[in-house]
C-alpha cells in the first residue's frame, strides 16, 4: 500500500485550476476542427472503445498536452477501465496523466463557436445553407458521421425527414412573388396585402408578416421545443430556422438561438451544462466521463450531472437514488421508531408505555432499552422506565423463509442507507463548517502575531479534505450495497472503507477543536494521511479490486 501511495500524490484542486489556465491560454482548442473530428468519433461512449480513442486523440490534437504526455495509458489503469468500463470512477484523482478525459470548461460563447464550426463543416461538404445544416445535425444528434451516412444513402429522405426538403430544393422564401396587392393571408383572413407585406418559407405557404410574428412569438413563448416548430400551414413539415426568425421577428432571435444552443449541449453526450444555479458554463470531456469543478464552485460528474460520486458508477447511483427516494422515508421511520424483538427479530414499534415489552409474535418479554429478557430486570436495573444494561443484537442467517429473506434484505439496505445518510449529513455539516473556517483562520492569525495568512491555510485545506472524504465515504456505502462479494473483495473493500472512516473521524475531530488547543502539525499530517486513504480506496476500485 505504502509504495503506491506516493505514486499518486495528485491534488484535485490543482487539476481544476490547470483546466482554467488551459482554457484561457488556448481558446482555439474549443474551435479546432480536429477536435470536432475526435468528438464525433467517440460520441457514443462505448467505454472500451474510449480507451483506444484516447490514444487517437493524443495524435490528433497536439495542443492537448495531457493526452500527449501519455498516449498509451499504463496497463494497470487500462485494466481498471475495462472492469469498470461504464464508470467515471475517480479517474481524475488517480490517473497518472493529469487529465486523461480531456476535461475542460467552456463559456457559452465558445460552445456557440464550436457548434458553428461543426455546422460550417457540413455546409462546405454538402453545399447547403447553415440553417439547413443546423437542422440536419440536430436531427442526427450532432453526429457528423451519422448525418453523412444517411445523406449519402438517400439525401431526399434525409432532408424531408428533417423538414428542410423545400429549403434545399425550393426557390427560396422571403417576400413572396405574385401580384403587387390583393394577397390573402390565411391566418387573419385579410385579403389586401402588398406582396412585401407577405412572407413565406420555401414551402410557399405565405402569411402576412404580422401573423408570422404572432406565430413565432407564441412558439418561442412555449419554450425549448420552439426549435422544432414547423410552418404555420396545417400539415406542412417545413421546419422554422434562425433565418425565418431573424427575417420576421428579430426580437425573439436571441431566445431562439439560446434554445438551439441548449439543445446542442443537451444532445451532446460529451458535454453538460453546469448544474449550478444561474451558471452558464459548459463542461466537456473527450470520453464523456470525469468530474469537473466549475468556476462557480459547483463540482459535478459530466455523465450524470450529479455531485462526483466515485467509486459508485452512474447507473448504480441512479438506482440507489431511486431506491432511496422510494424507501428513505420509510427507512427513516423504521430506524427512528422500531427495534427488533431480540428473540424472533420482528420489527416492533413502541408508541407508548414503559420499557417492559411483550412481543406480539413470540410472546417474549424483554426490555426496550437493552433488549435483554425482562426477567433479568428489576429495581436493581432501574425499574420500569430506566435500564442500565447493555444492548446486543443477533440474527439467524440460516433462516431461509421468504419473510426472513425480505427482512434480511431490508436490514441490509437499512445498514447501508443509515451510513450513507450519516455521511451525507456530515458532509453538509462540513460544508457549513467551511463557511465559518475563514473566520476561524482570522482568529487563529490574530491569536499569534508572527503567523501569516499562508500559515493558517492548513485549516481550510483540512476542511476541504474533510468534505471530500465525507462525499467519498457516502458513496462507498452505495458502492458496497451493490458490490457482489466474491473472493473476499468485499472484505478488502470494507477494510479500506474502515480505515478511511476511522481517519476521517479523526480529522473531523482535530479540525473542529478549539483554536487554543489545536496543533497545526497534527492537522496537517492527518489531512495528508486521509488524502492518501481516499486515493487508495478509489485506486483500489479503479484497478478492478485485485481481480485481474
Partner 1 sequence: MASTNSSTKSKSSARALKSPHLAQPLSPTSSNYRLQQELRSFLLSPPPDLKVSVGRNLRIWHVKLTGRNVYEGEVFTLRIKYSNTYPRDPPSVYFVGDNIPEHEHVYSNGDICLSLLGSGWSPNLTGQGIAVSIQSILNSAGRKCRPIDNSGSVGRKPGESQKDWIYHDDNC
Q: Which residues are catalytic?
A: 354
For partner 1, give the closer residue by CB, 12 or 212. 212
d(CA 135, CA 71): 36
Per-residue binding letters, 129-168, with partner 1 (x by CB under 8 A): ----------------------------------------
The residue within the footprint of partner 1, chosen from 93, 199, 215, 417 (CB under 8 A), is: 215
Q: Which helix (H) or strand (E) holds 206?
A: strand 206-208
Closest approach of partner 1 to the CB of residue 235, in Å: 7
Scanning 205-213, 269-277, 366-374, 393-401 for contacts with partner 1 by CB under 8 A, the matching segment is 205-213
Scanning 182-190, 287-295, 476-484, 536-544 for contacts with partner 1 by CB under 8 A, the matching segment is 182-190
The residue within the footprint of partner 1, chosen from 84, 93, 151, 207 (CB under 8 A), is: 207
d(CA 488, CA 486): 5
Cell of 207: 402569411
* Residues contacting residue 222 through CB under 8 Å, at least 6 positions apart: none
For partner 1, give the closer residue by CB, 219 or 309. 219
Contacts 24+ apart (CB under 8 A), 137-142: 138/227, 138/260, 138/263, 138/264, 138/267, 141/43, 141/267, 141/268, 142/43, 142/115, 142/118, 142/264, 142/267, 142/268
For partner 1, give the closer residue by CB, 221 or 488. 221
Beta bridge partners of 267: none
Return the exposure string of 293-317: e unless at least 16 CB atoms fall within 10 Å of the residue's CB, then b: bbeeebbbbbbbeebbbbbbbbebb
Scanning 15-23, 66-74, 190-198, 387-395 for contacts with partner 1 by CB under 8 A, the matching segment is 190-198
Closest approach of partner 1 to the CB of residue 197, in Å: 12
The residue within the footprint of partner 1, chosen from 34, 83, 117, 186 (CB under 8 A), is: 186
Closest approach of partner 1 to the CB of residue 523, in Å: 56
d(CA 279, CA 286): 22
Scanning 181-189, 356-364, 486-494, 498-506 for contacts with partner 1 by CB under 8 A, the matching segment is 181-189
Return the exposure string of 449-481: e unless at least 16 CB atoms fall within 10 Å of the residue's CB, then b: eeeeeeebebbebbbbbbbbbbbbbbbbbbbbb
C-beta atoms surrounding 127 within 10 Å = 9
d(CA 482, CA 323): 12
The residue within the footprint of partner 1, chosen from 5, 121, 190, 494 (CB under 8 A), is: 190
Asked if 189 is part of the footprint of partner 1 (rule: CB under 8 A), the reply reads yes
The residue within the footprint of partner 1, chosen from 127, 180, 235, 397 (CB under 8 A), is: 235
Asked if 187 is part of the footprint of partner 1 (rule: CB under 8 A), the reply reads yes
- Cα angle 302-304-307, degrees, rounded to a multiple of 5: 80
C-beta atoms surrounding 207 within 10 Å = 26
Closest approach of partner 1 to the CB of residue 233, in Å: 5
Phi, psi of 538 (to 5 degrees): -70, -35
Asked if 214 is part of the footprint of partner 1 (rule: CB under 8 A), the reply reads yes
Scanning 97-105, 180-188, 260-268, 372-380 for contacts with partner 1 by CB under 8 A, the matching segment is 180-188
Closest approach of partner 1 to the CB of residue 231, in Å: 8
Closest approach of partner 1 to the CB of residue 205, in Å: 7
The residue within the footprint of partner 1, chosen from 137, 150, 211, 274 (CB under 8 A), is: 211
d(CA 491, CA 358): 37
Burial group, residue 74, by CB count within 10 angstroms (0-12, 13-18, 19+): exposed
The residue within the footprint of partner 1, chosen from 192, 196, 446, 485 (CB under 8 A), is: 192
Asked if 173 is part of the footprint of partner 1 (rule: CB under 8 A), the reply reads no
Scanning 60-68, 123-131, 188-196, 457-465 for contacts with partner 1 by CB under 8 A, the matching segment is 188-196
Asked if 220 is part of the footprint of partner 1 (rule: CB under 8 A), the reply reads no
Which residues contact partner 1 by CB under 8 A?
A: 186-192, 205, 207, 211, 214-215, 218, 232-236
Amino acid at each position: 500500500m505504502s509504495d503506491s501511495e506516493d505514486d499518486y500524490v495528485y491534488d484535485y484542486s490543482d487539476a481544476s485550476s490547470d483546466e482554467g489556465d488551459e482554457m484561457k491560454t488556448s481558446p482555439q482548442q474549443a474551435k479546432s476542427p480536429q477536435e470536432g473530428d475526435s468528438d464525433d468519433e467517440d460520441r457514443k461512449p462505448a467505454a472500451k472503445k474510449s480507451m483506444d480513442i484516447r490514444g487517437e486523440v493524443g495524435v490528433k490534437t497536439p495542443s492537448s498536452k495531457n493526452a500527449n504526455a501519455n498516449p498509451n495509458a499504463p496497463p494497470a489503469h487500462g485494466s481498471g477501465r475495462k472492469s469498470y468500463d461504464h464508470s467515471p470512477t475517480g479517474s481524475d484523482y488517480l490517473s497518472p496523466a493529469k487529465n486523461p478525459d480531456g476535461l475542460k470548461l467552456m463559456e457559452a460563447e465558445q460552445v456557440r463557436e464550436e457548434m458553428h464550426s461543426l455546422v460550417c463543416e457540413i455546409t462546405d461538404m454538402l453545399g447547403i445553407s447553415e440553417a439547413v445544416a443546423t437542422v440536419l445535425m440536430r436531427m442526427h444528434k450532432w453526429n457528423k458521421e451519422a448525418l453523412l451516412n444517411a445523406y449519402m444513402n438517400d439525401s431526399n429522405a434525409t432532408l424531408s425527414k428533417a423538414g428542410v426538403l423545400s429549403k434545399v430544393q425550393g426557390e427560396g422564401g422571403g417576400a413572396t412573388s405574385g401580384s403587387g396587392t390583393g394577397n390573402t393571408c390565411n391566418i387573419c383572413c385579410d385579403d389586401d396585402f402588398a406582396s412585401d407585406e407577405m412572407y413565406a418559407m420555401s414551402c410557399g405557404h405565405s402569411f402576412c408578416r404580422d401573423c408570422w410574428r404572432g406565430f413565432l412569438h407564441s412558439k418561442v413563448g412555449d419554450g425549448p421545443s420552439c426549435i422544432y416548430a414547423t410552418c404555420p400551414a396545417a400539415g406542412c413539415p417545413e421546419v422554422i430556422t434562425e433565418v425565418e426568425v431573424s427575417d420576421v421577428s428579430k426580437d425573439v432571435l436571441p431566445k431562439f438561438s439560446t434554445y438551439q444552443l441548449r439543445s446542442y449541449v443537451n444532445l451532446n453526450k460529451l458535454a453538460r451544462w453546469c448544474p449550478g444555479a444561474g451558471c452558464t458554463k459548459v463542461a466537456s470531456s473527450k470520453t464523456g466521463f470525469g468530474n469537473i469543478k466549475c468556476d462557480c464552485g459547483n463540482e459535478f460528474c459530466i455523465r450524470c450531472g450529479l455531485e462526483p460520486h466515485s467509486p459508485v458508477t452512474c447507473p448504480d447511483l441512479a438506482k440507489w437514488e431511486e431506491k432511496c427516494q422510494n424507501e428513505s422515508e420509510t427507512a427513516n421511520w423504521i430506524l427512528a421508531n422500531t427495534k427488533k424483538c431480540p428473540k424472533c427479530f420482528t420489527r416492533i414499534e413502541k408508541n407508548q408505555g414503559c420499557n417492559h415489552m411483550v412481543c406480539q409474535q413470540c410472546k417474549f418479554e424483554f426490555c426496550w432499552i437493552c433488549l435483554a429478557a425482562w426477567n433479568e430486570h428489576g429495581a436493581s436495573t432501574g425499574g420500569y422506565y430506566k435500564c442500565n444494561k447493555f444492548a446486543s443484537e443477533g440474527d439467524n442467517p440460516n433462516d431461509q423463509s421468504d419473510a426472513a429473506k425480505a427482512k434480511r434484505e431490508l436490514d441490509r439496505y437499512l445498514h447501508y442507507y443509515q451510513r450513507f445518510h450519516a455521511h451525507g449529513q456530515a458532509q453538509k455539516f462540513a460544508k457549513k463548517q467551511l463557511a465559518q473556517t475563514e473566520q476561524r483562520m482570522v482568529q487563529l492569525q490574530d491569536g499569534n502575531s508572527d503567523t501569516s495568512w499562508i500559515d493558517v491555510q492548513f485549516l481550510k485545506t483540512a476542511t476541504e479534505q474533510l468534505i471530500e472524504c465525507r462525499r467519498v465515504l457516502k458513496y462507498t456505502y452505495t458502492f458496497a450495497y451493490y458490490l457482489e462479494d466474491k473472493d473476499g473483495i468485499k472484505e478488502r473493500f470494507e477494510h479500506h472503507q474502515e480505515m478511511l472512516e476511522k481517519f476521517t473521524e479523526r480529522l473531523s475531530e482535530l479540525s473542529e477543536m478549539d483554536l487554543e488547543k489545536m496543533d497545526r502539525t497534527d492537522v496537517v499530517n492527518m489531512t495528508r494521511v486521509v488524502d492518501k486513504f481516499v486515493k487508495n480506496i478509489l485506486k483500489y476500485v479503479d484497478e478492478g479490486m485485485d481481480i485481474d
